[in-house]
Amino acid sequence: MTSLYIMFMTLVIFYVNWNVFIFFFLVLISMYCVMNLNFFFSNISYTLGMDYISYTLIILSFFIISLMLLSSIKSSSSSFLFLNLILCLSLYMIFSVLNMFLMYLFFEFSLVPLIILILGWGYQPERLVSVIYLLFYTLFASLPLLLIIIYLNLNNGSLFFDYKFNYSLSFIMHFFMVFAFLVKLPMFMFHYWLPSAHVQAPVSGSMILAGLFLKIGGYGLIRFMFIYEYLFMHYSYIWYSLSIWGSIIVSLVCLIQGDIKCLIAYSSVCHMCMCLMGLLTMSSWGLMGSYFMMIGHGLCSSGMFCMANLVYERLLSRSFFVNKGLITFMPSLSLIWFMLCCFNMSCPPSINFLSELIIMGSMMSYFYWSFVYMIFISFLSACFSLYLFSYCYHGMFHNCYSYSFIKVSEYLLLMIHLLPIFLTLLVIDSLLF
């Protein structure tokens, strides 16, 4: 029913510019889903179905898409609304279909409106290069997954996720199965498309990249992990080792960035590597911690990109060397910016803190000395988050006046990002049990 609503709205917006109406409609859908979280939906039809993993990600999709519309009211048009609703529909279908081929189809189709969004509403001329990175990384990695889907259909006669597939320990099959999702996540060494796309994308593109597109990779790994459990248990140490070293190296790379959006983008790579480590432990705690990290990171990183866009709109620069002393320029946003940075380094009370604790426990059950690497990752995460806040908000501002030219809608946008991060802890018992 929700997909029909979204399809009908895509037809209406070419006649009436209903930006605010669509924003409130998507918020109402997400709030309705939250209020009905105690219901367990499964096998609604032969093609569509939901469990708690996909259900919460669908709520996050509606939530982030509505915040995208709120953040881009000034630049919105009928074509912009159309792209956002098409993205919303494709994400909804990715998280609700039960068929592998349909999931792959919408997985690839969601790339098209995102590319149009970056090309049409991006900032610099270099956005064409970032789109080429995004397109070829994704297409190159997705072709092996299509071959695996064809192989499974020929050998088993079914592509549904709940089917009992044959036993296999082939590394080639495992690599082809996970490569597309590792690039989309992205894992270290397959991540270069992400900072490039973030820097050139508008604020709405950065929000949906950080908030939702990275979660498609984790969701796909979860789905395929239940099909071939022994295959993942046999080879997960390879990606686990790369993720540990990648988190440390990317955290060090964050400390030498000169662009605010670049630093936030690399911090997303670091957190997604931690999420991947939790998934690869193949335990219920690791799955739970990674799932909570996907939700918390989607809200926190999206809010940080909104804040970076507010600074860029006022000062026309994202450089650390220009954006100094913002506590005298925008004092009313200093607390919100500080809280976002704290939640980015997993400080309590936030769902990020809980997810990091659970992931650390699952990592120690998988490889005991993982806690040594986890201490380094957490420390470096705190370092670049505090570096981001202190470098921007402290120091001498280049003008001699102080004012806070922030709109009420922008306060609303940032607070809607902040509140669910720690309010989720109030309902964590219903999520766990």
In this prediction, residue 383 has a pLDDT band, given cuts at 50, 70 and 90, of very high
**pLDDT of 142 over the 80 cut:** yes
* Residue 76 is assigned to a structural domain of this protein: no
In this prediction, residue 185 has a pLDDT band, given cuts at 50, 70 and 90, of confident
pTM for the model stands at 0.90
In this prediction, residue 42 has a pLDDT band, given cuts at 50, 70 and 90, of very low
Domain range for 255: 130-432
Q: Which residue has the higher pLDDT, 252 or 62?
A: 252
* Residue 159 is assigned to a structural domain of this protein: yes
* Residue 61 is assigned to a structural domain of this protein: no
* Residue 33 is assigned to a structural domain of this protein: no
Q: How many separate domains does the chain show? A: 1
Q: Which pLDDT score, from 0 to 100, does residue 362 have?
A: 92
CB atoms within 10 A of CB 348: 13
**pLDDT of 248 over the 90 cut:** yes
* Residue 92 is assigned to a structural domain of this protein: no
* Residue 356 is assigned to a structural domain of this protein: yes
* Residue 108 is assigned to a structural domain of this protein: no
* Residue 27 is assigned to a structural domain of this protein: no
